[in-house]
A and B are shown apart, each in its own frame.
Chain A
Amino acid sequence: MRVLLILIPFAWRNLWRNQRRTLITLLVVSVGVWSILTFNAVIRAWSDSSLAGSLKNMTAEAQIHAQDYLDDPDMAHSFPEPTGELLQLLNSPSVANWAPRVRTPAIIQSEYETLPVTLVGIDPDREAGVSFIADSVKQGVQLKDAKDEGVILGRHLAKRLNTRIGKRIVLMANDINGRLEERGAKVIGIFSSSPTMEDSFMFTGLRPAQKLLHADGRLSEIAMMSSAQTPLPQLVTMTRQAAPGLDIQSWDELQPMTKGIHDLTEGFIYVWLWVMFVLIAIGVVNTQLMAVFERTQEFGLLQALGFRPNWVILEVLLEALQIIGFGVLVGSLAAYASVYFLQDGISLEGLSAGADFLGIERVLYPRLEAREFFTTVIVVWGLGVLTALWPARRAVKFNVIEAMRST
């Protein structure tokens, strides 16, 4: 400890003997840390927005189905509307929002075209916070309630059907007994979303859908969002316990592709971290090696005066520790300032069509998470100092006499 207290100010003074080199190293470390943290915050905002977009595309965080529904999604695999323990859980603080749905393959026919579609009967009030449909109706009106018999079509589907608001269409679908049923309905709204959603989904009230399919009191799925107080895996477990006969799956099981893309983005962040770290390490090793070679005579002198070899190593490491620490501090503050500056969001309005296509929101909100912030800082600092062990060990490899003779 005593030696450490001597060496800390000694190392600090030595750092500033070559100000230009120290400042360049400082710049490399600072820019590296700044870019890791800022890039991380922006990419994570992108990734989270993309995930949120995917979840809003009718997946939500978890879904409840009858067994076998996912393999054969028709009303033959439906389940009764929730009661008892399941209803109690869905209405508990563990669940932020939940929405009951009837969802079945159907045929939609206009005066000009007949197309396949997924018919979804919804309670529009319950879809808020669960899916995109609650706030995506751009023309016409939203369904009033679960009893509304009107239909809402995607913009692209309406175009392909050559229909519009106020026109009537015909819906055909197999009912719960497998018989083909049909009914006419009026287009009351057009929604805007990703091309896939606009093409494949149409919405009507839950009750008319149940009536069409002769499935009163039955559902195809319940979509739900966990609350902040209950992590999703815990909610899934609780739901499985509350409804043992039903199939409960979280979004990553329902959409492994989305999970894969999300994981890939996470991986990309780590790849960037390592690329930047390698650049930082090269900067630090270069600086420290130069410093060690330039001061070989001095390290010989210090050992001649009674410096133990490990004190020389410690001295070089302390120099690295300080310059990296200072760089990390400057880089972190710069990253914090950058993210603070972007706290109102990065607008993608100029890319709105692309944003819709990619299923991300039009404003990204970068944020620095404490855990990632400290992990990055500690990893860069710790590995940077470990990297400096190489030049530090070189500093004591020289024979004292040879070292003192060097110029």
Chain B
Amino acid sequence: MSTILECKHLTKQYHQGDTTVNALQGVDVSFNKGEFVSISGPSGSGKSTLLHIIGSLEQPTDGDVILDGISLRNESRRELADIRLNRIGFVFQAYNLIPVLTAAENVEFILQLQGVDRQARRARSGELLKQVGLEGLENRRPGQLSGGQQQRVAVARALASHPAIVLADEPTANLDSKNSDELLALMSKLNQESNVTIIVATHDPKVIAHTRRHIVLTDGNIETDETRAA
């Protein structure tokens, strides 16, 4: 398997008054193409920070992220935005759909920004919404969908542009047990079918159980990094 993402000695410090918080303390980790990885750890262990730095939403204090061969260290805000648009899919805890767009438009929006033509966009959003089980609900706005349905739209949106990686931050935290199970089954299926790398930061043991590789972070360091046999 080829390496799609490499984190080199990632360090992140936050300053709160006179106090310095070491969120990440030199994390070195690589992810291969097609992996489904969970990152867990207690609150404040640095898992969300790691996900944000991998997703180029935050800059590390030190170290570098190499995504699909591109170093994110010295890129401008605009270049990082382009990298996020073209190479990274996000699924957030709070669904975070654009409220004025329908389910289909939320999925198509990314493709539209990439310059994909209308016909191809329609086809891709239709295909993805069908895959996530939302066929027939394409024209509903987020406010007209349940939490589980909204999170499925978010998954479809994350996969729309065939990203190199999908980053999910506590994707099941706001879902009930049934919706959580369905979402995880869906993500596993999409991971296998699309061969896309999915990295999930979570507290949820169910999520960890669905992933083959599980990383535990403690105090900004990798405590364990285990891959279960298939």
Contact = CB atoms under 8 A, between A and B. Distances in A.
B113 A404 contact: no
A298 B113 CA distance: 16
Interface in B45-85: 52, 55, 57-58, 77-78, 81-82, 84-85
Contact of A3 (B84, B92, B113): B113
B36 interface: no
A301 B142 CA distance: 15
Interface string A307-348: 111100000000000000000000000000000000000000
Contacts of B85: 305-307
B110 interface: yes
B58 A305 contact: no
Nearest to A306: B85
Interface residues of A, number: 23
A6 B98 CA distance: 14
Contacts of B157: 305
A10 B100 contact: yes
A170 interface: no
Contact of A401 (B52, B78, B81, B113): B52
A404 B78 contact: no
A351 B86 CA distance: 73
A14 B100 contact: yes
Contacts, number: 58
A298 B99 CA distance: 9
B115 interface: yes
Give the contact-size bracket for chain B. Answer: 20 to 34
Nearest to B84: A306
B31 interface: no
B111 to A, nearest CB: 11
Contact of B113 (A304, A307, A400): A307
A13 interface: yes
Contacts of A404: 92, 96
Given A2-B115, A17-B99, A309 B58 contact: no
A297 B95 CA distance: 12
Nearest to A309: B77
A302 B99 CA distance: 12
Q: For B57, B88, B90, which residue has the most chain A Cβ atoms within 10 angstroms?
A: B57
Interface of B: 52, 55, 57-58, 77-78, 81-82, 84-86, 88, 90, 92, 96, 98-101, 109-110, 112-113, 115, 157
6 contacts: A3-B113, A6-B109, A304-B55, A306-B110, A309-B81, A404-B96
Given A17-B100, A302-B98, A305-B157, 4 more contacts: A3-B113, A13-B100, A306-B88, A310-B78
Interface of A: 2-3, 6, 10, 13-14, 17, 297-298, 301-310, 399-401, 404
